[in-house]
Amino acid sequence: MKTHELSQRRDFLKLSAAGLLSGVSVPWFESMANAAGRVQRPRGKKCILLWMDGGPSQAHTFDPKPGGEFKSIPTTVPGIHVTEKFPKLAQCMKDMAFLRSMTTEINDHYDAKYYLHTGFRRVTSLEHPSIGSIASAFVGLPNDDMPAFVTIDAGNDKGNGGRFYRSVPAYLGPQHAPLAVQNPAQGLENLQPDTKGLERRLQLLGKGEKRFAREYNLPVVNAKQAAFQRAVNLMHSPRAKAFNLDDEPAAIREQYGEHRFGKSCLLARRLIESGVSFVEIFHRGWDDHEGAGMRIAARAPWMDGAMSALILDLKQRGMLDDVLIVWMGEFGRTPGDGNGHFCRAWTSMMAGGGIHTGQAVGATNDNGKNPGDTITRRPITTPDFMATLCTILGIDPHQELMASGGRPMPLVDKKAKVVKELIA
Amino acid sequence: MKPASFILTLLLTATVQAETNEAVLEHVESLGGRVRWVSAKQQALEVDFQFSGDKVTDAALARLPQLGPIEILHLKKTALTDAGLRHVARLNGLRRLYLEHTAITNTGLQHLAGLKQLEYLNLYQAQATAEGLLSLAPNLPALKQVHFHPRQVTTATISKISKKLPGLRVWPMPARERARVEAVLKLSEANLADAESGLAVAEKNFKELDPLVKELKPRLETAKKVADDAQKKADATRKPAEAAKRRANDLDRKFKDADRQARAKPDDEGLKKKAAELKGQADETRRKREELGKKYDAERRANEAAQKLKRELEEKFRRASNSRKKFELAKAELEAARLQAEYARREHTALNGK
């Protein structure tokens, strides 16, 4: 079993350094071992999760079918089509991969959101950590100025779409809870310290907290103080400027679009650049029970513009191989008009991240009255998806962790099989 | 040299080296930099100054080679200038070098000619241009990927580089970018045309159907009532008809049984009589069954017609009452498509104006 703390790594380094006397090690290595408390384990990949809350229609986006409401257009990869509403993303196909055979068992909003965020079905006995918190624990840099996991609210079209799922770190510890940005245009409103008395007040607070921690040396107390300290660090960090979109040139802001989703994508890029490991952007209102066609037609331009801008911008900056972009909801929608929930066969998208892009993994059928209702190739279950996501980010999905009460928990369901087609 | 003193010498060297390493590590951290292992298994380092800003100057990099084998070096947004690249050039094992947003020029770039392992070079928003790369790149056999801002490249230089070094990928790629912008423009304009015709249809429907809402509402109410009544009547006649059918079938079977028994024993008068009696009853119930069945059929047909009318009116009403919503959505769709086409046009003009 692996833990994500530094201690083990330090042991490993000491052991390696001990090898010096047998004459096999390199001299610089020992000193690194001494300083191993400061030299950190390597980062995995970073991730931007674009969460389309409510369940986007695959037939109106990335799995077009003959006779569908939208026409299909070719992309830059021969043989892969998307609907006509996504002309810009169609030109980015070489950097994207579709997973067209998601099959995820749950048709209820909240339970499906929980399932797709954690890889486990919701149970009453135990809470599972969400993917963002997992990335915070395994990819994020401990004691960094910037938070490892940030969520951005990209607004909503309509109110419905079921209860909203909020990422929970569960047994990974409260330090891996997300920092929530309520409005991308405003960044972190309360970040500006009211200069004068702050330092003194913090010192006073620190004294009190120290005494409390001495008397009640509990993990939760330490975690709370650590979280507080991180907030203070962020307040003082020059990197906190990343939260301010006004610093971005107008031309780039325009590329991402003036819509709140575009601003969220731009903010995500700035945060990733400044050291955040996992950004989840959620846009609510994809629960299109009155027909997905018109709704998605109205939404498509800003989604198309912002997502393609994000991919192109990261690519231009030479960052795309280190950042995985994931687009998904909790399920797809019924084939045809997209009126109902549909977990049996739907599409998610991954871009960048150094994976094998320019392909569509899996396929659905397109004959009959109800096109696209069954998977004809390579079903991908929720655990499969989660194991794949973890593997791409550089997290071992097969490791076992200790949940509260000393209960060993696999990070991802043991039956999960990684989608090998995606991994380089 | 005796073995013991050999080990002693080795240890001493290691200790001296060790102190230097740790001092350099402290130095890096004092500048706001970070040192990490490149991966869990490799004994190579990544030095990250991308959040250090102006604290990192040319002189600050002089001690880096003593830290250990550095494979990845981030110098984004630092105060590095051309002179500082001399120190960077001493990191022989360097594979990835990040120089975004620095003052590095084409002159400074040439210092890197000795980095035979260098695979990746990021010059996004640096002062250097593709011209500088053109003279540097032939010296770097491992170089695979270089990044610039569009302002730093010209189509001509990029095509020269790709001709000279076909294995090297340089971003941006003007030819591909042009093709992309063309395709986006074409598709966006097609979408705009679709949205325009979609709006025309939605508007026509709205103008036709919306006034009908008021008129359809009472008609639908009546039709619903009629349909409900018809359903009730049909239900009411269905049960007796079905009961009669069951009874008729029952009696028919009983009569057939009795008839068979009577035929088997032609001498038994009692059986014959019973069969005749049952036949009379069976005929009677069959008549009743037919009568009730006809009644039910009539009610059922009436109900079907009423339900159909109700459904039709419902559909009409739904379309009429939805026409406003659809019109609104079509307007939103057109607005979105307009914006999309507008952006595509602007991007197109910007690229071709260059």
DSSP one-letter string for A259-290: SHHHHHHHHHHHHHHTT--EEEEEEE----TT
For A412, residues 6+ apart whose C-beta sits below 8 A from its C-beta are: A119, A383, A386, A387, A390, A397, A398
* Interchain proximity A34–B18, CB inside 8 Å: yes
Residues from chain A that touch B336, judged by Cβ atoms under 8 A, are 297-302
Q: Quick one: which of B82, B99, B87 has its CA closest to B62?
A: B87
Say what the pTM is.
0.80
- Best B125, B343, B345 member to test A by mutation, with max A CBs in 10 Å, is B343
Show the tokens assigned to A49.
Answer: 């999760």
Give the pLDDT of residue A251.
86
Give the pLDDT of residue B5.
55
Give the pLDDT of residue A376.
78
- How open is the CA angle A385-A386-A390, to the nearest 5 degrees? 120
Interface of A with B in 270-329 (CB under 8 A): 273-275, 290, 294-295, 297-302, 304-305, 315-318
Residues from chain B that touch A41, judged by Cβ atoms under 8 A, are 36-37, 40
Residues from chain A that touch B53, judged by Cβ atoms under 8 A, are 238
Q: Which long-range contacts (CB under 8 A, 24 or more apart) does B8-15 make?
A: B10/A23, B13/A27, B14/A20, B14/A27, B14/A30
Give the pLDDT of residue A194.
65
Residue pLDDT, tens place only, B300-348: 999 999 999 999 999 999 888 889 988 988 898 898 889 889 889 988 9
d(CA B229, CA B39): 77
Residues from chain A that touch B34, judged by Cβ atoms under 8 A, are 40, 141
For B345, residues 6+ apart whose C-beta sits below 8 A from its C-beta are: B185, B188
What is the per-residue burial (b if ≥16 Cβ within 10 Å, else e) of A238-254? ebbebbebeebeeeebe
Question: In this prediction, does ipTM exceed 0.90?
Answer: no
- Give φ, ψ of B97 to 5 degrees: -130, 125
Interface of A with B in 18-47 (CB under 8 A): 20-21, 23, 26-32, 34-35, 38-43
Residue pLDDT, tens place only, B181-212: 999 999 999 989 989 999 999 999 999 999 98
- % of chain B beyond a pLDDT of 70: 93
Residues from chain A that touch B25, judged by Cβ atoms under 8 A, are 31-32, 35, 38-39
- Closest approach of B337 to chain A, Cα-based (Å): 6
- Closest approach of A215 to chain B, Cα-based (Å): 34
HSE of A90, CA atoms in CB hemisphere, 13 A: 29
CB pairs under 8 A between A and B: 136
* Interchain proximity B340–A297, CB inside 8 Å: no
CA A404 to chain centre: 24
* Interchain proximity A295–B339, CB inside 8 Å: no
Report, as ranges of residue numbers, the positions in chain A whose pLDDT lies below 70. 1-38, 40-43, 159, 190-196, 367-372
Give the residue from chain A lying closest to B188, CA to CA: A87
* Interchain proximity A32–B25, CB inside 8 Å: yes
Tell me the mean pLDDT in the region B277-304: 91
* Interchain proximity A29–B38, CB inside 8 Å: no
- Closest approach of A301 to chain B, Cα-based (Å): 6
Show the tokens assigned to B296.
Answer: 């039910």
Interface of A with B in 71-100 (CB under 8 A): 73, 76, 84-85, 87-88, 90-91
Residues from chain A that touch B329, judged by Cβ atoms under 8 A, are 294-295, 297-298
* Interchain proximity B21–A35, CB inside 8 Å: yes
Task: Give just the sign of the alpha carbon dihedral B82, B88, B93, B94.
Answer: negative
For A251, residues 6+ apart whose C-beta sits below 8 A from its C-beta are: none
- Best B326, B333, B335 member to test A by mutation, with max A CBs in 10 Å, is B333
Tell me the mean pLDDT in the region B50-60: 89
Q: Of residues B50 and A77, which shows the higher confidence score? A: A77
Give the pLDDT of residue A32.
55
Residues from chain B that touch A87, judged by Cβ atoms under 8 A, are 183-184, 186-188, 191, 340, 344
Tell me the mean pLDDT in the region B123-148: 96
Which residue from B51, B150, B337 is facing A239, i.e. has the nearest CB? B51
- Closest approach of A180 to chain B, Cα-based (Å): 22
Q: Does A200 touch chain B (CB under 8 A)?
A: no
- Looking at A26-93, list the stretches that DSSP marks H as alpha helix, in order from N- to C-terminal side: 27-34, 87-90
Interface of A with B in 139-178 (CB under 8 A): 141, 145
- Best B26, B37, B171, B199 member to test A by mutation, with max A CBs in 10 Å, is B37
Residue pLDDT, tens place only, B213-270: 999 999 999 999 999 999 999 999 999 999 999 999 999 999 999 999 988 888 888 8
Contact A331, A55 (CB under 8 A): yes
* Interchain proximity B17–A145, CB inside 8 Å: no
Give the pLDDT of residue A68.
86
- Looking at chain B, list the stretches that DSSP marks H as alpha helix, in order from N- to C-terminal side: 3-30, 85-88, 106-109, 130-136, 155-164, 174-209, 212-264, 269-353
Q: Is residue A226 classed as helix, strand or coil in its secondary structure?
A: helix
Give the pLDDT of residue A48.
98
Q: Is residue B200 classed as helix, strand or coil in its secondary structure?
A: helix
Give the pLDDT of residue A38.
63
Residues from chain A that touch B326, judged by Cβ atoms under 8 A, are 294
Q: Quick one: which of A46, A28, A32, A85 has its CA closest to A62?
A: A85
d(CA B340, CA A87): 10
DSSP assigned state of B76:
T
- In which region does residue A162 sit, left (phi positive, over 0), alpha (psi from -120 to 50) or beta (all else)? left
Give the pLDDT of residue A190.
67
Residue pLDDT, tens place only, B62-78: 999 989 899 999 999 99
* Interchain proximity A141–B34, CB inside 8 Å: yes
Give the pLDDT of residue A93.
97
